[in-house]
Structure 1
Amino acid sequence: MSSELFNAINYLEKEKGIDKNILLEALEAALISAYKKNFKSANNVSVKFDEEEGTMQIHARKTVVEEVEDEQEEISLDAAREINLSYEVGDIVEIEVTPRNFGRIAAQAAKQVVTQRVREAERGVIFSEYADREEDVMTGIIQRTDPNFVYVDLGKIEAKLAKSEQISSEEYHVHDRIKVFVTKVENTNKGPQIYISRSHPGLLKRLFEMEVPEIYDGIVEIKSISREAGDRSKISVYASNPDVDPVGSCVGPKGQRVQAVVDELNGEKIDIVEWSEDPVVYVSNALSPSKVIDVLVDEENKATTVIVPDFQLSLAIGKRGQNARLAAKLTGWKIDIKSESVARNEGLLSEEIQEIDEDDFLFD
């Protein structure tokens, strides 16, 4: 074992962040295996390194016994005491058995181990670095695309954006910069694997955290998100401080904050509503931009019947039922929407609730 190898190991520890002890442990295992294979030995052996001298020695480990039955594993008490008078039966004696021509074999084993361990350690370093980014947003550069994946360079690793995690209305071009949500980081036999998404609700949440200081600081809390990626999303927010307007904080001056998120998501519409523990208020807010006359609550079945003005029915339901569907997912309540006229015919409208005229909404 030359001093150059120890220098190389120290270099790898300093420059690659690979623990020297891990390399030495792997090297020891490889040298023991090489020794047993090349010299037909079944001895219980160990390796001793001397970094200062730049040398290594193979030592056979033998148990001290009164009468030797297996010369490969045992040594007599008399023979042991010729080495050191303090040995007793049951002690382990280490005897140097380094072959003279072991240097070439050791060098080859060392090269293989170092190469393998460097690869594994680099993977470990990369995994540790990216594991901390799970459920976070990262910016990458698109390297290439195929019918199933968009390949995104995230720095030290390439991630695959699966078809199911893409936004169908988006086009992905090579060399474009793109923000992605890291859903999972795994350390596999092939190295670290990062799973990313553009359609995950977590992307919307993180983008708002980046744009809205009140959310980042915990002054405003995102309570729930429902999303149909690329088309429309709803987000409910809450502030415990009554002096803070959670919706206004997310919208920002002249709508700048929410517009930044919309731009990042290529025009995805975003409704920001205020969360409330009162289901009547919360469901009403969630159906924005539709106006609501009344909400009938069935606590047992966690269901609501929402009454809206006749001229607002289509707006409340939304195109292909999208507005109602997103509101139900956002609140966790089933939502059945009825027009005012139908509700009156069914006797669902309270007497004290006055008929609402369309003119009431013209300047709202």
Structure 2
Amino acid sequence: MNSELLDALTILEKDKGISKEVIIEAIEAALISAYKRNFNQAQNVRVDLNREVGTMRVFARKDVVDEVYDPRLEVSIEEARSINPNYSVGDVLEIEVTPKDFGRIAAQTAKQVVTQRVREAERGVIYSEFIDREEDIMTGIVQRIDSKFIYVSLGKIEALLPVAEQMPNERYQPHDRIKVFITKVEKTTKGPQIFVSRTHPGLLKRLFEIEVPEIYDGTVEIKSVAREAGDRSKISVHSENPEVDPVGSCVGPKGQRVQAIVNELKGEKIDIVRWSNDPVEFVANALSPSKVVSVNVNETDKATTVVVPDYQLSLAIGKRGQNARLAAKLTGWKIDIKSESDAAESKAASESADAAEQE
């Protein structure tokens, strides 16, 4: 080893941000192991790497004792004082034991340590970059597909798209460009591991932020999202500015903005509704496209009973109850839907019962 190593470490420190002192300490520790392994030595040793010229020396460390039991680890007080009369029992004597052919092993060991530290530093940089992008959206390229994951290249690293996070109406092929939502970034022994999703409600929210400038600048706020990926979603929006139509802003001129998102999600239907802090108005809006006659609110149970025209009942409930289910998720209220005729019958029956009790 020579000054070229120190020059290389200085360059690494500037380019990769890896402390030169940290690498030198790691090299010294690795050289101790290499010395013991290659020269069958069990004694305590210290490796000294000269920071100025890059020279390396190995020192055996032995405890100074009255009586020697293990000559590999101990030296008698008499022998120690023959080297230096100032030694006392309990001191540590260091003797240089640098092998003649240790330079080749040292160079190889140093290369391995530097390579490992560079790899760790690069992993650290990638982790730091992506941990800040959790719950964000990125465009990736499909690399390969197996039974558990789709591997999506995000540039510096491959992300994992699990089967459960893949949209059921999509078929992926290598080299496809797709937008994904980063759900989790983990630090592992093999480097950072990134998990992404195509089904997460956050993907829909981020897509609206990209397509709708009023959401990006804060003029329009997304209040809640309910999503059954690949089929239908509902999103509630609000603006404090009375001159801004939050729903119209999201739909865009001739529906261009929302259509761009529908295209990205391969035809997933999206209902955009106006948010309100009045549960009567909010629940009625959330059941769009169905018309609502009335909404009765039970604050205690956070439940609502919604009356709709008879011909709108199936529309309000939706296919397999989907519209009602998404509206409940969007509003956070339980929703019981009745047709006008059923509500009238229930009311008549209730009035009859009350009249009977009074008699």
Pairing 1:186–2:186 present: yes
Kept in 2: contact 1:296–1:304 (CA 8 A): yes
| Unmatched runs of 5 consecutive residues or more in structure 2 | 352-359
Q: For residue 294 of structure 1, what is the amino acid of its counterpart?
A: S
Q: For residue 204 of structure 1, what is the amino acid of its counterpart?
A: L
Pairing 1:175–2:166 present: no
Q: For residue 188 of structure 2, what is the amino acid of its counterpart?
A: T
CA shift digits 1:265-286 (9 cap, x unpaired) = 1221111112222221211111
Kept in 2: contact 1:18–1:122 (CA 8 A): no
1:202 aligned residue = 202
2:285 aligned residue = 285
| Unmatched runs of 5 consecutive residues or more in structure 1 | 352-364
Between the aligned partners of 2:245 and 2:194, the Cα distance in structure 1 is 37
CA shift in 2, pair 1:65/1:264, >3 Å: same
2:151 aligned residue = 151
2:346 aligned residue = 346
The alpha carbon displacement at 1:308 in A equals 0.8
CA shift in 2, pair 1:43/1:240, >3 Å: farther
Between the aligned partners of 1:242 and 1:76, the Cα distance in structure 2 is 92
CA shift in 2, pair 1:251/1:36, >3 Å: same
Q: For residue 123 of structure 2, what is the amino acid of its counterpart?
A: R
Question: 1:346 aligns to what SS in structure 2?
Answer: helix
Q: For residue 206 of structure 1, what is the amino acid of its counterpart?
A: R
Between the aligned partners of 1:84 and 1:205, the Cα distance in structure 2 is 78
CA shift digits 1:77-128 (9 cap, x unpaired) = 884796696x887666655432333212212322332333333333222222
Kept in 2: contact 1:224–1:330 (CA 8 A): yes
TM-score (norm 1): 0.84
Q: For residue 272 of structure 2, what is the amino acid of its counterpart?
A: I
Alignment map for 1:17-166 (pairs within 5 Å): 17-61=17-61, 79=80, 95-166=95-166
CA shift in 2, pair 1:244/1:88, >3 Å: farther
Kept in 2: contact 1:247–1:274 (CA 8 A): yes
The alpha carbon displacement at 1:324 in A equals 0.5
Q: Quote the RMSD (CA, aligned, Å).
A: 3.0
Between the aligned partners of 1:80 and 1:247, the Cα distance in structure 2 is 91
2:325 aligned residue = 325
After TM superposition, the structure 1 stretch with the greater mean CA deviation from structure 2, 138-147 or 71-80, is 71-80
Between the aligned partners of 1:348 and 1:260, the Cα distance in structure 2 is 49
Q: For residue 277 of structure 1, what is the amino acid of its counterpart?
A: N
Count of aligned residue pairs for this structure pair: 350
2:357 aligned residue = none
The alpha carbon displacement at 1:35 in A equals 1.8
Q: For residue 343 of structure 1, what is the amino acid of its counterpart?
A: A
Between the aligned partners of 2:282 and 2:90, the Cα distance in structure 1 is 77
Between the aligned partners of 1:97 and 1:319, the Cα distance in structure 2 is 82
The alpha carbon displacement at 1:237 in A equals 1.9
Between the aligned partners of 1:80 and 1:27, the Cα distance in structure 2 is 33
After TM superposition, the structure 1 stretch with the greater mean CA deviation from structure 2, 5-14 or 73-82, is 73-82
Question: 1:8 aligns to what SS in structure 2?
Answer: helix
Between the aligned partners of 1:100 and 1:23, the Cα distance in structure 2 is 24
CA shift in 2, pair 1:261/1:98, >3 Å: same
CA shift in 2, pair 1:171/1:38, >3 Å: closer
Between the aligned partners of 1:254 and 1:40, the Cα distance in structure 2 is 80
CA shift in 2, pair 1:311/1:110, >3 Å: same
Amino-acid identity (%): 70
1:3 aligned residue = 3
2:311 aligned residue = 311
Kept in 2: contact 1:237–1:274 (CA 8 A): yes
Pairing 1:270–2:303 present: no
After TM superposition, the structure 1 stretch with the greater mean CA deviation from structure 2, 11-20 or 315-324, is 11-20
